Amino acid sequence: MKIIVLMKQVASKDAILRINKEGTWIEEGDLSFEVNESDGYALEEALRVREKLSGEVIVVSMGPQRAKSVIKDALARGADRAIHVVGDNLAHLTPYAAASALAEAIRAEQPDLIMTGLQSDDYGYAQTGVIIAELLGMPHATIVIEVDASGDKLRVKRELESGWYQWYSMPTPALLTIQSGISQIRYATLKGIMAAKKKEIKEVTPSAEIVSRLSHQQLRRVYLPQKTKQTQFLGNGDAKAGAVALAEKLHVEARIF
């Protein structure tokens, strides 16, 4: 089974986000980056399917050169090879344009299965995977938390709202968007890191047409959300003093105990 996994590099969750001068995005100069959370789970699931059924896992990431660190980490964890769709502004495409560029890079591989994360932690569009499935003419399922690829049809468990689930089956090739927590993610071993050095990373650039023609939605301004609630901040930066004040407030003001 040939499996493509889409992995996006995003700002680290712990990073302090500073808005750029123009107010159009965040300052990326000194930012730390990591792999998008659900994409890490997508890779893990792909590796597990390969271990059961044999085949190949190909990582595809689109973004500037720094995205190589995500690719190398995936190769160290066991992916077989990678395609890097390179370009400085490709992380800022609309989902339709991003999906078009990614579909173009994937198409010739003719994968049996494509796995993506369910949404990116920066833009949070929750669309790229579904659009790729449409562009490549594949059936899809979103928010998948269990995959059974052993039968002649693919059977997947989807998470629905408020504690409900549903199984779906569909023919391959198919695309799945993977929910975090589907399985426990493995770490890269030293051996894996050494082996990764010999694995292929193919660089491709998307056609200019794809990148330019599709700006049907434009981000105008980025800013801090307005606070709606009056929070009483306690301790003035001193966590211990804050804790003493909080115990008092919970007792006297909120009358919790």
Ligand X SMILES: Nc1ncnc2c1ncn2[C@@H]1O[C@H](COP(=O)(O)O)[C@@H](O)[C@H]1O
Ligand Y SMILES: Cc1cc2nc3c(=O)[nH]c(=O)nc-3n(C[C@H](O)[C@H](O)[C@H](O)COP(=O)(O)OP(=O)(O)OC[C@H]3O[C@@H](n4cnc5c(N)ncnc54)[C@H](O)[C@@H]3O)c2cc1C
116 binds, among other proteins, ligand Y, ligand X, none (CB under 5 to 8 A by kind): ligand X
Give me the torsion for CA of 195, 198, 201, 202, rounded to 10°.
Answer: -150
User: Closest separation between CB of residue 100 and ligand X, Å?
Assistant: 12
User: Closest separation between CB of residue 75 and ligand X, Å?
Assistant: 15
State which of positions 122-151 bind ligand Y (CB under 6 A). Answer: 143
Give backbone dihedrals phi and psi of 26, rounded to 5 degrees, phi first.
-95, 160
User: Residue 46 or 149: which CB sits closer to ligand X?
Assistant: 46
Which residue bears the tokens 């990614």?
A: 102
Give backbone dihedrals phi and psi of 127, rounded to 5 degrees, phi first.
-135, -30
Nearest to 72 by CA among 175, 169, 188, 167: 188
Residues 46/58, Cβ–Cβ less than 8 Å: no
User: Closest separation between CB of residue 128 and ligand X, Å?
Assistant: 3
Instruction: Quote the DSSP letter at residue 90.
Output: G
The C-alpha atoms of residue 199 and residue 181 are separated, in whole angstroms, by: 28
Task: Using CB under 6 A, list all residues that contact ligand X.
Answer: 6-8, 36, 38-39, 61-63, 91, 95, 98, 116-117, 119-120, 123-129
User: Residue 118 or 156: which CB sits closer to ligand Y?
Assistant: 118
Which residue bears the tokens 């003035």?
A: 236
User: Closest separation between CB of residue 62 and other proteins, Å?
Assistant: 15
| One-character DSSP codes across 180-216 | TTSSPPPPPPHHHHHHHTTS-EEEE---HHHHHH--S
State which H helix or E strand residue 244 sits in.
Answer: helix 239-252
Q: Does 116 bind ligand Y (CB under 6 A)?
A: no
204 binds, among ligand Y, ligand X, other proteins, none (CB under 5 to 8 A by kind): none
User: Residue 208 or 256: which CB sits closer to ligand X?
Assistant: 208
Which residue bears the tokens 């995205």?
A: 67
User: Closest separation between CB of residue 200 and other proteins, Å?
Assistant: 31
User: Residue 65 or 150: which CB sits closer to ligand X?
Assistant: 65
Q: Does 31 bind other proteins (CB under 8 A)?
A: no
**Chain residues that interact with ligand Y, rule: CB under 6 A:** 13, 118-119, 143
